[in-house]
Amino acid sequence: MAEDTSNWLPLLLQILPADRLRWDEESLDAYAHDETEDLHVRPQVVCVPESVEEVSAILKVANAHGIPVTPAAARTGLSGGAIPVKGGISLSMERLNRILSIDAANFQATVEPGVINQVFHEACKEQGLFYPPDPSSWGSSTLGGNVAYNAGGPKAVKYGVTSAYVLNLEVVLPNGDILWTGANTLKNSTGYNLTQLFVGSEGTLGVITKIVLRLIPYPKVSFTLLAPFASAEAACAAVAKIFQAGVTPSGLEFMERDAIDWTLKYVDGVSIPTGPNIEAHLLMEVDGFDEEAVLKEAETMAAVVEEAGALDVLFAQTAAERDAIWKLRRRVGEAVKSHSIYKEEDTVVPRAKLPDLLRCVKRIGREFGFQSVCYGHAGDGNLHVNIVKGDMTDADWHGPKLQEGIRTLFQEVVAMGGTISGEHGIGWVQKDYMNLAFNAAALGLQRQLKASIDPKGILNPGKMFPER
């Protein structure tokens, strides 16, 4: 689009006060990136609305003038989804950050999109209620972003991802229309499921301004275990055996040796076994309401992984030990980033295929000349493949060979019955691989949906779909 803002900037100044309409260098730089490596594109202005009415008015102006609008808030994403790659308006939802209600009688809550995940989790816990989705960025990521990208996290293995908890949404369409997508009920067979259409739509169809979430009772008991393995493949193979034994963990995480080593350098106050014979760890957790029953599950799980080759099984003895282990897991991504420039590929396969996926990653790395560090949510087959730049030249890092290697990896993931993103979304960085996950008819239908709701293509343009 043209850089000239003279036709529409005065109209935005009629909607927002000057302190919430920003084009200073610092603000533009802040909204030029998320946590995606090597991608920075400035918007022309940053709009910070405080109400659904302001969001609606901004979108009406943008739609009338063909101005790109990229919804954003915490900008913790790893797919470039919040980066305004076409310029225009960065629409920050940070001021829409209220927990409007927690309805303990009906086990649901109504929130605005700028509420931080962990803040909401803790507010629910105070009332004995549980909101399970817990991405590693839960201390900073917002619920609106979580919904837009259908975020997961360690608890997804037992409790499901964000989509399982969204009952209803208030959404502003690109033309400024405001609507509710469904009802605040557990059952709804009325018309098309518009709620789930917007969940995971990455801000390409509408702007979420309110969210009604389902809650469940907060588990009273949990046990956390850590098991080192001499073989990363053996650790992956143990995952399916845990479920085959009748145990459904509330967390089941895989961490490769390098991921552990780098994180221990980055995080203080955590000590776990890291001998030269250890290649990987499984972090396991079970929870529930009956202590005896949950302990039995923990003991069963320990026996299974020992039989599968674990060198030891360590039980967290205190809440502090449990929190320290989980702190380590949640900081792995930051530690990898601090060690090297990297590309994180969010692969997911049926969990029994996890050993095959790990072997595939290492084989393709050898073939195409890259190193990788793997970790992730093993319980649901979601492996984060971190390709590290290390000593690679800039030419190799940005060249076609690495891209070919990533495409080859995704091809094999799809052949295993998996797909190219389990929880990070498509955004900008994965869009060129969408034709591996969907055939032409399926991609065409998605494009048609986008065009019917956003005919001028103003909402988060350049995302999700490959260039024609």
CATH assignment of the domain containing 15: 3.30.43.10
**Which token pair is 370?**
């890259």
Domain extent, residue 33, equals 9-92
Listed residue (241, 246, 259) closest to 383, CA to CA: 259
Amino acid in position 425 = G
Summarize pLDDT for 240-267 with one digit per residue, the tens: 999 999 999 999 999 999 999 888 887 7
Residue ending a domain, among 49, 73, 92, is: 92
What are the residue ranges of helices labelled H in 178-318? 194-198, 232-244, 257-266, 291-307
pLDDT of residue 272: 86
The reply to whether 452 falls in a domain is no
- As a whole number of angstroms, the distance between CA 373 and CA 429 comes to 19
Summarize pLDDT for 289-300 with one digit per residue, the tens: 999 999 999 999
The reply to whether 1 falls in a domain is no
pLDDT of residue 1: 40
- As a whole number of angstroms, the distance between CA 117 and CA 140 comes to 7
Residue ending a domain, among 75, 92, 109, is: 92
264 vs 364 pLDDT, higher one: 364
Is the same domain home to 172 and 226? no
Is the same domain home to 71 and 31? yes
- As a whole number of angstroms, the distance between CA 257 and CA 228 comes to 10
Is the same domain home to 105 and 213? yes
pLDDT of residue 266: 78
pLDDT of residue 267: 78
The reply to whether 456 falls in a domain is no
The reply to whether 281 falls in a domain is yes
Is the same domain home to 212 and 156? yes
pLDDT of 71 above 60: yes
Domain count, the chain: 4
Q: Which residues contact 351 (CB under 8 A, 6 or more apart)?
A: 239, 240, 243, 378, 379, 380, 381
To the nearest whole number, what is the mean pLDDT of the chain?
Answer: 95
338 vs 9 pLDDT, higher one: 9
Is the same domain home to 61 and 49? yes
User: Residues 200, 413, 329, CA angle at the centre, nearest 5°?
Assistant: 65
Separation in Å, CA 313 to CA 68, 273, 308, 319: 53, 11, 12, 17
The reply to whether 433 falls in a domain is yes
Amino acid in position 140 = S
pLDDT of residue 377: 95
pLDDT of 2 above 50: no
Q: Flag the least confident range among 6-20, 96-110, 183-197, 392-406.
A: 392-406
431 vs 273 pLDDT, higher one: 431
Residue ending a domain, among 188, 217, 246, is: 217
Segment 91-113 shows an average pLDDT of 98
Q: For the chain, what's the residue count?
A: 468
pLDDT of residue 337: 79
Is the same domain home to 303 and 394? no
> Angle of helix 319-330 relative to helix 332-339, nearest 10 degrees?
40
pLDDT of 113 above 50: yes
Stated pTM of the model: 0.95
219 vs 328 pLDDT, higher one: 219
Listed residue (415, 419, 423) closest to 433, CA to CA: 419
The reply to whether 200 falls in a domain is yes
Is the same domain home to 204 and 111? yes
Question: Contact, 336 vs 386, CB < 8 A?
Answer: yes
Please give the share of the chain, as a percent, with pLDDT higher than 70: 99
Is the same domain home to 31 and 51? yes
**Which token pair is 7?**
């036709």
CB environment 63-88: b (16+ within 10 A), e (fewer) = bebebbbbbbbbbbbbbbbbbbbbbb
Is the same domain home to 329 and 238? yes
Summarize pLDDT for 28-62 with one digit per residue, the tens: 999 999 998 778 999 999 999 999 999 999 999 99
**Which token pair is 401?**
């060979």
Query: What sign for the dihedral angle of Cα 323, 326, 330, 334?
Result: positive
pLDDT of 424 above 90: yes
331 vs 119 pLDDT, higher one: 119
Is the same domain home to 29 and 60? yes
Listed residue (79, 141, 78) closest to 113, CA to CA: 141
User: Residues 169, 173, 174, CA angle at the centre, nearest 5°?
Assistant: 150
Characterize the bridge pairing of strands 166-172 and 89-92.
Answer: unpaired
Question: Contact, 157 vs 380, CB < 8 A?
Answer: yes
Listed residue (334, 182, 367, 344) closest to 265, CA to CA: 334
Q: Is 209 left (phi over 0), alpha (psi -120 to 50) or beta?
A: alpha
pLDDT of 468 above 80: no
